Structure 1
Amino acid sequence: MKRAHIVSTGSYLPGQPLTNTDLEELVGPLSPDLLAQVQVERRHWLVNPTTGVHTETNSDMATKAAEQALTFASLSAHDVDLLVLSTSSPDFPLPPMVTLVQEKLGLKRCATIEVRSGCAGSVQALDIARLYLEQGKYHTAVVIGCEAISPILVPLFLHKDPETIRARDRLSVYSFGDGAAAFVLQASDEPGGIHSSSLASVGGDRKPGMTVTAGGSKVPVPGPKERMELRVDFQASGKFTPYILAESLTDILTTSGVSAESIDLCIIPEGNTGYLQEELKEAGLLTPEWVAVSGNIFENLSLVGNTGSAALPLALDYAWKTGHVRQGDQLLILAIETSKWMYAGMTLTWSATPCPIA
């Protein structure tokens, strides 16, 4: 049976990085305790934070990430016969943003699929692509995770006195960033590649932990007293995330038949390892599996912020470019999403040769 292999990655971050010092001037400070919880030191936005001008679009970022991934794979856009994209912040409700990326890549004809989700979406998209490739339906796929969150954040503070910004809005502004990252996948008879996947929504009986209001059919157009708003239940996230982490890790390892001890690198874009360990320990969920993988967890949250669908592919792209993942390594990738308490993960053997710019 053919297996899908990740042959390259690519990424794109808009503009110059915004530091916490930059944000303090715009929205006021966060307490040291909250800054420690946020764990973000810099982030990138496609909106100019002082003027509110949009310098590019989400589909622009997605296209640039895909182009870089294709360059590193020594392929052209015309080699691609399947595009799968995940985002919770598309340019428009219709047409699907993936088709805008298709157009910008210069592809007249291509199979396209769009996943409307946040952090878990990029792994869901990766799983969809690999299943099509393994069936032999398509030969070369590009999977993109991308997010443009700054257009929702900037109206919270633009032209306002920083002292008037609510604490919960400051927390959101400090937490989130924009960006895009992409994978190029091909199927072959070579050993390795993607082994297995596991995904679930475990919040069917819980209120959403994150919502983006307005712009959908329920609230189609914001009224004079309404605006598109990002609502995050940080308290619920802190309480329930450890349970999702524990369940998802056990599920992924069991489904794939891989032992925690065999994992060389674990990509979980949820914050530093010490923080994760403390959360799990306090919840009584620090399992032997978590202890086994804890020394191999890799993420780059502090450099890019919370980037939704882009978070996991940005972290894996950074790991490849910095030499933290090497050909033959056994990987476990896991994304947690608080919108309706979802997770998506998989195990794989890394197939790509060293990144040309590493």
Structure 2
Amino acid sequence: MSQSTQSPRPSDFPDRHVSVLATGAHLPGDPIDNDTLARLAGPLPEDVLEGIQVRRRHWMADPATGEHRTSTSKMATAAARQALERAGVEAAEIDLIVLSTASPDHLLPVAGTYVQEQLGLEQAAVIEVRAGCVGAVQAFDIARRLLADGTYRTALVIGAESVSPLLVPFYLGQDPDRVRMRDRLTVYTFGDGAGAAVLRAGAEGSAEGRLRPVFATRSMGGARKPGMLILGGGTDVPLAQQQARKRLMDIKLDIPGTAQFGPKVFVEGIHDMLRRSGLALGDIDACVLPEGNAEYFSSEYGTAGLSAEDQATLSKTIVENLTDVGATGSAAVPLALDAGWSGGRIQPGDTVLLLAIEASRYVYAGLTLTWEAATPAQ
């Protein structure tokens, strides 16, 4: 497969307009419903299920055996291929890949280089963001800036996550009735998947007259313990101590802290984005907020400082698919964006706000853009 080796210089195209040409998504395996998890890990009370609002999710790990059926990079590549096909762009035209994940195939090389390999690209710029939900929005902006200044012309932005390998050990080989309720809640909450987008820079001066993209991100948890902590595979303690733990890798959630402080992070994030962009909530046609619409979370918006009027306005714009995919980390925003676009909810000319909230250190990331791609053929 031939590749273009001539790259534009930043001075060639000052402040070029960047368009999202298409998106793509990949969900591994068949959907896993709550009844299946109830048989494997024990049931959750109906009010808890209603609060998290997840009814189905997809896992790359077989829920019955724990065997891996794919990988983070393979899911990312599958989503990228769909986005490329919808965009009418050959893989050889990609000169930049920006991928976000907290669950790479290996610590090194980065997962993005495996996507590069699987797409048949001998050479490409590859940047990887190690983050959860906010990472894909950060990756969008990194790619957008590098296209806008002329460093590159065509980019793949990908968010991919494999959380199920951490979930299966909570219940595998155990009596479901003996699985702790907090562990069940974790098992029911998360899903795996990948979402991707193809971005391309215009020829020259094409940003004039369009909404200028605005980006903001902030960690608000510097003085708080993490809302989410993934243990294992790091350098916090010697490997011998890690191997002595009950689980080689583990995921720990501060559920009360997340429920209490998470909505404050969201409200600060949306207020920050409105201040920076000069937009009002009524100016936004689609707010891609994949995990902020869960009842336990959204019920606290008023306490966190979002007026009833703003809540009513926001509720009409939210684009999310939490019920069908669960909490998917780095894949959450691109999966929700793809569902919104492919389903016709996001239309050309719409002002779109991508907004992600991450519990790890209570981080938000937001990006505004004007949507241009026509709804794909079904």
Normalised-by-shorter TM-score class? over 0.9
Cα offset for 1:193? 6.7
The residue type paired with residue 346 of structure 1 is: L
The TM-score normalised by the length of structure 2 is: 0.91
Q: 2:158 is matched with which residue: 144, 162, 166?
A: 144
Instruction: Decide whether the 8 Å contact of 1:237 with 1:338 is kept in 2.
Output: yes
Give me the whole-angstrom Cα distance separating, in 2, the residues matched to 1:333 and 1:71.
23
Q: Where in structure 2 are the equivalents of 1:204-215 lying within 5 Å?
A: 204-215=222-233
Give me the whole-angstrom Cα distance separating, in 1, the residues matched to 2:198 and 2:149.
17
Residue 8 of structure 2: aligned partner: none
Residue 355 of structure 2: aligned partner: 334
Residue 56 of structure 1: aligned partner: 70
Give me the whole-angstrom Cα distance separating, in 2, the residues matched to 1:193 and 1:14.
36
Q: 1:217 is matched with which residue: 211, 226, 235?
A: 235
Instruction: Decide whether the 8 Å contact of 1:98 with 1:113 is kept in 2.
Output: yes
Q: Please give the secondary structure, in 1, of the residue aligned with 2:264.
A: helix
Instruction: Decide whether the 8 Å contact of 1:28 with 1:162 is kept in 2.
Output: yes
Q: 1:113 is matched with which residue: 127, 142, 159?
A: 127
- 1:139-194: per-residue Cα shift (whole Å, max 9, x none)? 00000000000011111111211011111110000000000000110112155476
Give me the whole-angstrom Cα distance separating, in 2, the residues matched to 1:292 and 1:55.
42
Residue 215 of structure 2: aligned partner: 197
Instruction: Decide whether the 8 Å contact of 2:267 with 2:305 is kept in 1.
Output: no
Q: Please give the secondary structure, in 1, of the residue aligned with 2:352.
A: strand
Q: Where in structure 2 are the equivalents of 1:201-280 lying within 5 Å?
A: 201-219=219-237, 221=239, 222-226=242-246, 227-272=248-293, 276-280=297-301
Give me the whole-angstrom Cα distance separating, in 2, the residues matched to 1:102 and 1:323.
30
Q: Please give the secondary structure, in 2, of the residue aligned with 1:195.
A: coil
Cα offset for 1:284? 4.5
Residue 97 of structure 1: aligned partner: 111
Residue 6 of structure 2: aligned partner: none
Cα offset for 1:277? 4.4
How many equivalent pairs are there?
357
Q: Where in structure 2 are the equivalents of 1:33-44 lying within 5 Å?
A: 33-44=47-58
Q: 1:321 is matched with which residue: 342, 347, 362?
A: 342
Cα offset for 1:22? 0.4
Give me the whole-angstrom Cα distance separating, in 2, the residues matched to 1:272 and 1:289.
14
| Residues 210, 255 of structure 1: alpha-carbon distance in 2 compared, 3 angstrom cutoff | same
Unmatched tracts of structure 1, length 5 or more:
none
Cα offset for 1:290? 3.8
CA RMSD, 1 decimal: 1.6
Give me the whole-angstrom Cα distance separating, in 2, the residues matched to 1:274 and 1:40.
11
Unmatched tracts of structure 2, length 5 or more:
1-14
The TM-score normalised by the length of structure 1 is: 0.96
Residue 22 of structure 1: aligned partner: 36
Q: Please give the secondary structure, in 1, of the residue aligned with 2:22.
A: strand
Give me the whole-angstrom Cα distance separating, in 2, the residues matched to 1:254 and 1:271.
20
Residue 172 of structure 2: aligned partner: 158
Q: Please give the secondary structure, in 2, of the residue aligned with 1:199.
A: strand
- 1:200-255: per-residue Cα shift (whole Å, max 9, x none)? 11111111100110101224643143420011111111100111111111111111
State percent identity of aligned pairs. 47
2:323 aligned with 1:302, yes or no? Answer: yes
Instruction: Decide whether the 8 Å contact of 1:242 with 1:285 is kept in 2.
Output: no
Residue 343 of structure 1: aligned partner: 364
Give me the whole-angstrom Cα distance separating, in 2, the residues matched to 1:81 and 1:293.
37
Give me the whole-angstrom Cα distance separating, in 2, the residues matched to 1:261 and 1:285.
14
Give me the whole-angstrom Cα distance separating, in 2, the residues matched to 1:194 and 1:121.
21
- 1:30-77: per-residue Cα shift (whole Å, max 9, x none)? 011211121100000011111211111111100000011000000111
Instruction: Decide whether the 8 Å contact of 2:160 with 2:330 is kept in 1.
Output: yes
Q: Answer with 194-203 or 271-280: which moved more.
A: 271-280
Q: Please give the secondary structure, in 1, of the residue aligned with 2:65.
A: coil
The residue type paired with residue 229 of structure 2 is: T
Instruction: Decide whether the 8 Å contact of 1:39 with 1:271 is kept in 2.
Output: no
| Residues 120, 161 of structure 1: alpha-carbon distance in 2 compared, 3 angstrom cutoff | same
